[in-house]
């Protein structure tokens, strides 16, 4: 009789622990899911690109390094390297909060498509670290989402989305892009 009771207790305990394990596993997977409406960090920045045009050496922040001619009307093959200032407001002369360092190239013959890979480098009292962005940027679309694929320092191992909106284009000399940054993984 006593043996039977202790066996029953064992069984109950076992199923209780199984239940706890299952429950904690569910809790963990719920914790890992990402709420796209609630980024863990959110920033609004403006990126300024001053193209080098042979008479603005002092102010240029980007340079075309390859420019094959004759491949259609959308700059196919053009390759640009940049070290652009990133500011909190739209003013090009405002104190930069970060630099955007990287490159893009045009890789579509039917429309403008700038494929980009660059790093936002932060080195201020507010933020130290990097966020790396890599994606297609179909520049004629009103807004474009690009993937934030990682980071270091204050943005260690981050992931997220940056939404680009072109603010202003002045011929081939200057453009300004609004960057709406939403991070979904913060550590």
Ligand X SMILES: *[C@@H]1O[C@H](CO)[C@@H](O)[C@H](O)[C@H]1NC(C)=O
**Interface positions with ligand X (CB under 6 A):** 56, 58-59, 123
The residue among 82 and 106 lying less far from ligand X, judged by its C-beta, is 82
Please, which residue, 75 or 151, has the CB nearer to ligand X?
Answer: 151
Residue 123 or 143: the one with the smaller Cβ distance to ligand X is: 123
Least spacing, CB of residue 46 vs ligand X, in Å: 15
In the complex, minimum distance from the CB of residue 59 to ligand X, in angstroms, rounded to a whole number: 4
Shortest distance, position 112 Cβ to ligand X, whole Å: 26
Q: Quote the least distance from Cβ 83 to ligand X, whole Å.
A: 11
**Least separation in angstroms between CB 18 and ligand X:** 52
C-alpha 159/C-alpha 49 separation (Å) is: 25
Nearer to ligand X, 7 or 128 (CB): 128
Contacts of 38 (CB under 8 A, 6+ apart): none
- Closest CB to ligand X among residues 56, 143: 56
Question: DSSP readout, the chain?
Answer: -HHHHHHHHHHHHHHHHHHHHHHHHHHHHHHHS--TTS-SEEEEEEEEEEB--SS-TTT--EEEEE---SSTTTTTT-EEEEEEEEESSS-TTSPPSEEEEEEEEE--SSS--EEEEEEEEEESSS-EEEEEEEEEE-TTSS-EEEEEEEEEETTTT-EEEEEEEEEEEETTTEEEEEEEEEEEE--
């Amino acid at each position: 009789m006593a043996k039977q009771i202790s066996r029953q207790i064992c069984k109950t305990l076992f199923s209780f622990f199984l239940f706890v394990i299952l429950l904690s596993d569910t809790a963990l997977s719920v914790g890992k899911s990402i709420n796209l409406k609630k980024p863990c960090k959110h920033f609004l920045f403006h990126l300024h690109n001053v193209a080098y045009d042979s008479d603005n050496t002092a102010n240029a922040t980007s340079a075309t390094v390859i420019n094959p001619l004759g491949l259609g009307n959308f700059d196919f093959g053009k390759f640009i390297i940049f070290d652009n200032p990133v500011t909190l407001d739209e003013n090009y002369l405002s104190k930069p909060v970060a630099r955007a360092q990287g490159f893009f190239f045009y890789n579509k013959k039917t429309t403008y498509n700038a494929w980009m890979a660059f790093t936002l480098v932060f080195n201020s009292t507010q933020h130290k670290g990097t966020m790396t962005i890599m994606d297609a940027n179909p520049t004629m679309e009103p807004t474009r989402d690009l993937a934030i694929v990682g980071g270091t320092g204050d943005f260690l191992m981050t992931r997220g989305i940056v939404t680009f909106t072109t603010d202003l284009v002045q011929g081939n000399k200057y453009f300004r892009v609004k960057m709406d940054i939403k991070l979904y993984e913060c550590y």
